[in-house]
Amino acid sequence: MAYKTQGLGNSIIQGNTIGLSSWQLAHVGDGRVQFNAPHAGSGPFDGFVMALNTWYFFEIRVAMTPNLYTYEARVNNSVLGTGALASSTAGAVGLGTQSFVPGGPGGGLTCTIDDVQITDGEFLGDTNWGVIYPNAPGDAAAWTPNPAVANWINTSEHSPDDFTSYNQANAVANQDLYNMDDLGGNFRIVGAHALNCVTKSASGVSSIKGSIKTNGSLNQETEFFPSWASWLYQRTGYRKNPITGLDFTAAEINAIQRGALRIT
């Protein structure tokens, strides 16, 4: 998680466990940080003092076993601290983190967060999002464009314009695909986040699957049921290429196609 703050109070991030307790990567108050578990704290980590209004990239991994919180915290790809804290509540919380909450410094001050990643325990390092949009036709164009232009044009919207321009699937099994922008560099890819902005034009049950085409194969995502009342984002996160099972390469992202398949 990328983070900068106007103040040095409260937590940077808090994990709420499956119970009534929580853990925190927290400010000490003087620029240093520490790990807190219920009724226990690591004490300030040595060697790091945070400056105000400066971007940092924090990562933390927490594992819970009965009566023990084991942690590793990192900042800007360097280890802040590791350890294990005994806690009388660890064994009673289901041994899992249910939700994450960024903290605010309080006192009328604010913090800003960006580039949030949640993994199964893997450290990804300091990451940035690169946003790409449709830029050319893909390998399928069965949806009806409104207005009647090339399908990809109606989806290449940096700010969605709802019913001003859109593509409509008039029948089950209609498939659209669009070529996407290139990244503009040979970056290490640690994940991808695919989105479609969708709605229904009439009442009744209707559904789609988001699609990506990579390495010559089409991957259909989990079925999604749009709202009739509003436009919603259908989102799918990819840690790895679903076709190869490996990290995406920049070349694979540059060649990827995005689209949707009508299911019902």
Beta-strand pair 175-180/134-141: antiparallel
Q: pLDDT grade, residue 95 (50/70/90)?
A: low
Compute the average pLDDT of residues 62-66.
83
Chain-centroid distance of CA 7 in Å reads 26
In 3-state terms, what secondary structure has residue 77? Answer: coil
pLDDT in tens, 129-140: 899 999 999 999
pTM, two decimal places: 0.80
Domain boundaries, the chain: 2-114, 134-262
Residue 155 in this model has a pLDDT that exceeds 70: yes
Centroid of chain to Cα 187? 18
Rounded CA separation 57/126 (Å): 6
SS3 13: strand
Euclidean distance between CA atoms 201 and 153, whole angstroms: 20
pLDDT tops 70 at residue 178: yes
In this model, does residue 172 exceed pLDDT 90? yes
Compute the distance between CA of residue 122 and CA of residue 175 in angstroms, rounded to an integer. Answer: 35
CATH numeric code, 134-262: 2.60.120
CB 110 within 8 A of CB 4: no
DSSP line for 162-212: GGGSEEE--STT-EEEEEE---SS-PPP--EEEEEEE--SSSS---EEEEE
CATH fold label, 2-114? Jelly Rolls (2.60.120)
Structure-block tokens of residue 218: 């089409």
Mean pLDDT of all residues in 186-215: 95
Rounded Cα gap, residues 84 and 217, in angstroms? 45
Q: Is residue 70 pLDDT above 80, yes or no?
A: yes
Give the three-class secondary structure for 163: helix
Task: Quote the CA–CA distance of 51 and 46 in Å, as a whole number.
Answer: 15
Cα angle value 240/242/247 (rounded, 5°): 25
pLDDT at site 99: 85
Predicted pLDDT of residue 251: 96
- What average pLDDT does this structure show over 158-167? 94
Closest CA to 132 of 252, 262, 242: 252
pLDDT digits (tens, 9 = 90+) for 218-253: 999 999 999 998 999 999 999 999 999 999 999 999
- Give pLDDT, residue 20: 58
In this structure, of 114-118, 122-126, 191-195, the range with the lowest mean pLDDT score is: 114-118
Instruction: Assess contact for 205 and 223: CB atoms under 8 A.
Output: no
Judging by beta carbons within 10 Å of its beta carbon (0-12, 13-18, 19+), is residue 192 exposed, middle or buried?
buried
The reported pLDDT for the residue numbered 92 is 54
Q: How confident is the model at residue 199 (pLDDT cuts 50, 70, 90)?
A: very high
Domain 134-262 in the same topology as domain 2-114: yes
Q: Tell me the mean pLDDT in the region 11-35.
A: 89
What pLDDT does residue 94 have?
Answer: 55
Q: What is the largest CA-CA distance in the chain?
A: 65
Cis amide linkage into residue 147, ω under 30° from 0: yes
Residue-wise pLDDT for 35-59, tens only, equals 998 888 999 999 999 999 999 999 9
The arithmetic mean of pLDDT across residues 188-194, rounded, is 94
